[in-house]
Structures are given as C-alpha cells and as structure tokens.
Structure 1
C-alpha cells in the first residue's frame, strides 16, 4: 500500500522520516510517495486534502481537524524552540514593547503557529507579508520589510547577518502558559482505515527511535535537503525540535496543544473545535 507523505526539507523532519522512507525499519507493507515543501505549502495542501499524511503547523491543523487526525508520533514541541521576531534597525530594540503598528512584518505564512504567537504578543501588528521562511532574513537586509518572523534554522543564522532579536515568542509563550510550545504535528487522513492510521503512527515512532539510536545514519539525506548548513548547525536544529514529544506526545504534549487551541478559540482566531483532534482517544 502506497501513501502520500508531505514534510519539510528541514533537518528535524528529514531526521525523523529518514528511516521510514528509506526502509531502515520494517514498514510492514507500506510505501510512501514523498513531497518536500515548506510549512505553509504543506498547510495549503492540507486545506485541499491532497496528502494522506502530512506535517503541518498546529494553527493550520485547527482548520482541518475534521479531515485529519493528529498522530502521537512526529510532532515538534519543546522549550526554547519558538519563533523569533527580528529586525535590522537596532533602534527598534528600544521600542520592543510599543512597536509601531505601521511596521511591515515578514511572516512564514498566515496559518503558521509562528504567526499565531505573533498575534497573541503583538495583535496590533497587522501589516504582514507572507513569504518563504528562508527568504525573510534577506528581505530584512534589503529593507523590504521592517520586522521578520523567523523559524527553523534561521534562528541560528540571523545574528551572523547583522540582524537583531526583538523577542523570542517561544519564551513569551512559556512564561504565559508554562507549557511547551506546539509548533507542528504529523496528521493523517481520517478516511484511512484506523488500522492504517495506527500502523503509520507505530512506524513513525520506530523511525524517530531509530534516528535517536543512529543519529548519523541519515546524515547524507539530511545534508542533501538542508539549506547550506554546517553539520554542527544541522544537529543543533535537530536537538531543538526533535525530543520526547516527537516519540510520543504524552499527557504534557497533549495538554500544551489543548491550551494552544483553547487560547486560539478564546481570542477568536479559530472556531470552536467540535471533535477529538487526536487519531486515538
């Protein structure tokens, strides 16, 4: 049985999925047609129901949970892993608590969790320009935008380019809620038999466990898709985004996601969710 699978080319995703798609573990008769896309493209594909299994932001998931269910394995949650709001002009650092609403912000997508957190912290920043996450730093450098909302490996590279951090929105979230920050999850189409959903979840967990046990096994695959990153930066990225929640959400992980959705509903960002979001009760 072949299933379509979408995930990003970022090191945390390629690290997680390497063993699964390259049959380093027994895939129990399943095969996968893989699509590599940035997170917002994956979000849009989920809105159209194009993939059987996909990575997507938790913000986007709230809009498609009628069609997709969240797997226990593969999610990106953690502490100290949130998006950063950065700028080129150092003078803006002094205005961090009172940023001008006219400032233009480059964001990695309307439905990213990063943009949701930005809306919580700075609801008045409404002039937003969507762009590929990897293009935000250059847009700042060339002053096409005033502020940049960065995710993934860019949190390791912005300072080298003379850019400044205004706020770590992950730390902001942690102080506000005490929870890990939910960034992205792996969801599966509810139309698939439950036995298939369960099998995919089991195999994904085995793939993550294999990656932890053999961290250099997928190095060539990770390098092939990483954006001009050194091996050291790649593994820093992996250490931030792949952790115990990636093996299994557990009670803490589910609580963090539930708090995120509850807050989003209270602030009118999403509609009330009427069904269980998880593939397994």
Structure 2
C-alpha cells in the first residue's frame, strides 16, 4: 500500500500534463509564425531584386512595413495563421517609368515628370526612392555631358570597332512584373507561403482530418478608418492534414502536394 501511494504521489496530474502539452503547442505555433514571416520577407526580397535588376535603380524604400503572423490552434479544425503582408509600392513607379519610356523624354525632362507624379501620389517612400534614383543617375548624366559621344566615331580599340549607330538595340524588358507588378508580388509571396507550409509545419502535429490554414492580407488593403464594407480581399491558403501527412511520408511528390494546397479569395 505504501509503495502504491508513493507512485501515485509521484505521477503528474492530468491537468499538469495538459498544460505542458498546451505550452508546447503554443511554442510550435510561435515558431511557425516566425517561419511564415520569414517566407513572406523572402518573397518581398525576390520581387525587390527582380525590380531592381530590371530598372537599375534602388528599390529598398518601396517596402513600407514588415510581415506579421499570428497563429492559433482551433479545436476540431486545426491550426490557423493570420498574416499581414507588407505593402510593396510598385504600380505607380512602374507606370511612371513606362510612360516616360513611351514618350521618349530626355533625362532631365524624365526626372522632372517623375518628380511631379511622385508629388501627386504624396507617398513618402516613393519620394525617398526618387531621391536615391537622382543620386545614382546624377553622376552618370554629368559624365556623359563631360564626354559627349561623337556621331559616327569609332572605338579606339581594334580595327573592327563599330560606330554607335551600328550597336544592336537593347532588347525590351519582358518580365511579367512590369505588366502587373502587384500580381507578380502576390504570386511570389503565395508561393513562399506554400513552400513554408510543406517544409516547416511537421511540428504542428496537424491531424489527418484537420487543416493548416493561412489567411494573408496586405497591410494597406483596408485603412484603419475605412468603412466596414471595404472591398479588400484576403487570400485563404490551406492544406488538409491528410495531404500534409502524405507528403511528409513521401507518399506524394512535392508537385502533387503543391497542387493540393487550396487558394481562395475571401
């Protein structure tokens, strides 16, 4: 009897075990929050680098905020994450650059027209990006004025040098980001979130009949003082627990798992 009483006293109560399990679950959800935030930031970096390479201009100031994620475990449903995606101010700047290119404006007139458009937008981040652009374009323009090109002049290197007129025209930019920068940004972020769902969610212990759901929304989709009937959209990205388990067990390929991730608009 004494031995049984001693063992009973040493065994932790069920409430303590439940609290320990809940604490561990919150920890794993918190870890996944950071993973999702990192995935969104990765998508931002990819788009920013593409834009910077295409436009040959700094794009750091076009991102207005950081990603934020908050997760919850819902009994009988699974795990749900609410994600705020940072704003990437691309549309107005791409429109300005495309318009200037179509009108064949000179450098000074192009900068002036771009300044006027940015002032009309009233966006501080765009103004900072324009200032950085002027700092980079300025020295190049001055060097061209100091050493103007002579029409028909040949290069001083080699007898096979060609004139400026013989140079091949530069190929037009065809990256989809120029046609619809916002859609390209959304697609990159959604893909990064999908990859994070497959690669880093095993510790969440999602049941076969449960869901892993991520609701992603831009932080500028609805201002704080906007009316309740705003037409802002939220991307609902979710994967059934049975499909996640099949992928983790290598019963289906990564491509199949990505196809089974649902993306809906709310």
**TM superposition score normalised by structure 1:** 0.26
More helix per residue: 1 or 2? Answer: 2
More strand per residue: 1 or 2? Answer: 1
Question: Relative contact order: is structure 1 or structure 2 higher (C-alpha 8 Å, sep ≥ 6)?
Answer: 1
Rg larger in structure: 2
